[in-house]
Amino acid sequence: MPQMAPLNWLTLLIFFMAIYILVNSMNFYSFSYSLPMQSSLMKSTIKMNWKWL
């Protein structure tokens, strides 16, 4: 029945948007950063004094 076609498209749109939001939220909350070791945070920096010649 052609009169029911917009309702079917709306249902499919809502369904796929819900799946999209679900997959993205699962990806966002399942990803965890690995904290670097404390010694790697203390990197040696080379200090240079630049002078005008």
pLDDT digits (tens, 9 = 90+) for 25-36: 999 888 777 766
Q: Is the pLDDT of residue 40 over 60?
A: no
pTM: 0.52
- Give, as one character, the DSSP assignment of residue 42: S
- The CA dihedral of 33, 34, 35, 38, to the nearest 10 degrees, is -160
Mean pLDDT, to the nearest integer, of 13-36?
89
